[in-house]
């Protein structure tokens, strides 16, 4: 089944949210605030997410999880293990810093670097791109040439490490553009978002 990647730019920080589709089967990555456009798309497409994947635990990447879980309670919320505590703690997920109290339901599954996930005949590798948060990960599918990096990789740089919970020394060598973007010609999500792609 052909992989389709749909991009939704959500919330006041223009957070990239990704819908990965294989026919009616799909996953959602990093649902942010104001997910109504995403939910409408899912209803229209008749697609129900099997997983909700988080690249890290910052408030702008988890704020839409509650709405998604309410609409699709069977969807498994998958969070990097080292960021799990950020989901329910607005101070740890930094949203309290901006006068917000954003949270998410707890994770159904904890992810660790080196783990693989499979769907639609494709294998996704969980990569360590921590430093921006203690457990930040990226999702890499070599067969499709796609890597979803959250805030580890931007158009002109990499994720900040001068915010609460971040640690410059935790950032692995893979957090450079050359290493985070594997040599398979992976797609590099960044802000501002690019149009949806088919692979």
CA dihedral 86, 90, 92, 94 (to 10 degrees): 110
Kindly report the average pLDDT of the chain as a whole number. 82
Residue 60, CA atoms < 13 Å, CB-side half-sphere: 15
Q: Do residues 63 and 96 make contact, with C-beta atoms less than 8 angstroms apart?
A: no
- pTM recorded for the entire structure: 0.83
pLDDT classification of 87: cutoffs 50, 70, 90? very high
Query: Mean pLDDT, to the nearest integer, of 94-115?
Result: 94
The CATH code of the domain that includes 53 is 3.60.15.10
Token digits of residue 41: 């798309």
Q: Write the CB contacts of 178 (distance below 8 Å, at least 6 apart in sequence).
A: none
Query: Mean pLDDT, to the nearest integer, of 155-178?
Result: 54
pLDDT tens, position by position, 25-83: 899 999 999 999 999 999 999 999 999 999 999 999 999 999 999 999 999 999 999 99
In terms of residue numbers, what domain contains 26?
A: 4-198
Split into its structural domains, the chain has a count of 1
Token digits of residue 163: 């915010």
Q: Do residues 186 and 179 make contact, with C-beta atoms less than 8 angstroms apart?
A: no
Neighbours of 58 (CB within 10 A): 29
How far apart are the two ends of the chain, measured CA to CA in Å?
A: 10
Residue 86, beta-bridge partner list: none
């Amino acid at each position: 089944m052909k992989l389709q990647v749909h991009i939704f730019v959500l919330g006041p920080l223009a957070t990239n949210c990704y819908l990965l589709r294989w026919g009616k089967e799909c996953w959602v990555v990093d649902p942010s605030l104001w997910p109504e456009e995403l939910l409408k798309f899912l209803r229209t497409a008749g697609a129900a997410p099997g997983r909700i994947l988080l690249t890290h635990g910052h408030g702008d990447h988890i704020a839409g999880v509650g709405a998604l879980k309410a609409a699709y309670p069977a969807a498994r919320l998958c969070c990097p293990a080292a960021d799990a505590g950020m989901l329910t703690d607005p101070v740890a997920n930094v949203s309290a810093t901006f006068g917000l109290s954003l949270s998410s339901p707890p994770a159904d599954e904890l992810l660790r670097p080196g783990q693989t996930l499979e769907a639609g005949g494709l294998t996704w590798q969980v990569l360590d791109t921590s430093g921006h948060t203690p457990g930040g990960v990226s999702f890499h599918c070599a067969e499709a040439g796609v890597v979803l990096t959250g805030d580890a990789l931007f158009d002109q740089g990499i994720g900040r490490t001068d915010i609460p919970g971040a640690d410059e020394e935790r950032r692995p060598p893979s957090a450079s553009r050359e290493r985070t973007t594997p040599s398979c010609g992976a797609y590099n999500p960044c802000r501002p978002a690019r149009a949806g792609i088919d692979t």
